[in-house]
Amino acid sequence: MAQLMISVSGIRGVIGNGFTPAVVEKFVAAFGSWIGGGKVVIGRDTRVTGEMIEHIVLGTLQAVGCEAVRVGVVPTPTVEYAVETLKARGGIIITASHNPIQWNALKLISEAGLFLDEEQGNAVLEIANRGKLCYQPWNKIGSITNYDNAIRDHMDAILRLPFIDLEGIRRRRFRVALDCVNGAGSVFLPEFLEELGCEIISLNTTPNGLFPHTPEPVPENLQQLCTTVKTAKADIGFACDPDADRLAIVSETGEPIGEEYTLALAVRFMLSKRPGVVVVNASTTRAVDDIAAEFNSQVIRTKVGEIHVAKKMKEVKAVIG
């Protein structure tokens, strides 16, 4: 039975069993037709099928008159940032996130640098399902260019954030155990941590797409990292999923602190620097409300889903979400 999942934010499936070149072409052509041409940023994770899918995506975008800008193997947030800074009409990320190696997917990004919302996604799906694809004649096809500075742009933007004590971090010389599951984090996090003056104990940081364990960064998949933190006497451990948009933290005791504590720590840090509105979804820990109260800050809850949190953050100018 074919395994293909279609939603307003993209499609994912098993290579050769649902997620086929024809399916990829159909939905990419629909996305390119929906945005009406213009610049589209394309990035991918390290999956072994990523290059194959990338070729299909680039050619299809060119066929519907788009200017395809390839940024290569990069984390998902780097593509989102590049869409904004390059003033693109949208973006496509080729990644199945934390799904197993046989899966791949397309994540569709709007010109705001966010995943498509329900209205936008449904518009793309309607074009795909009705076959209203805007393939162009020979003299109106689009172009393909490479942009090699997406990671550097993203790193520099993070290092410029006003609340980060760069020199203090660099003086501390943290020992960091790092598990990138051989995914896109491998081309970003080691260099980034080195710029922060950290001593890195690398685990699975070869960007070859061969996941050494189940790639979702949840406690049951972090045994190697937890052991390494303890035996190497690291100050902290970090793990990410294949497209590096999810982070797990292991404390100096070798125990995962969990996503709820991770968010609580981030909220406390940001509100200590700049009190303001916090946006979270309906299932987020109530600890956020307690922390916000300490700083006389408001918490707004949205429906579950990254796009709902992100849109509300922009609307209310939240300090964190």
Closest CA to 98 of 180, 191, 19, 176: 180
Q: Is 104 exposed, middle or buried (0-12, 13-18, 19+ CB in 10 A)?
A: buried
Q: Is 319 within 8 Å of 278 (Cβ atoms)?
A: yes
Closest CA to 239 of 321, 183, 285: 183
DSSP, collapsed to helix, strand or coil, labels residue 194 as helix
CA angle 244, 32, 57 (to 5 degrees): 55
Active-site annotation holds for 202: no
The catalytically annotated residue of 97, 110, 186, 297 is 97
Closest CA to 124 of 116, 113, 136: 116
Burial 270-292 (b: 16+ CB within 10 A, else e): bbeeeebbbbbeeebbeebbebb
Residues 241, 243, 249, 250, CA torsion sign = positive
Burial 208-229 (b: 16+ CB within 10 A, else e): ebebeeebbbeeebbebbbebb
Active-site residue numbers? Answer: 97
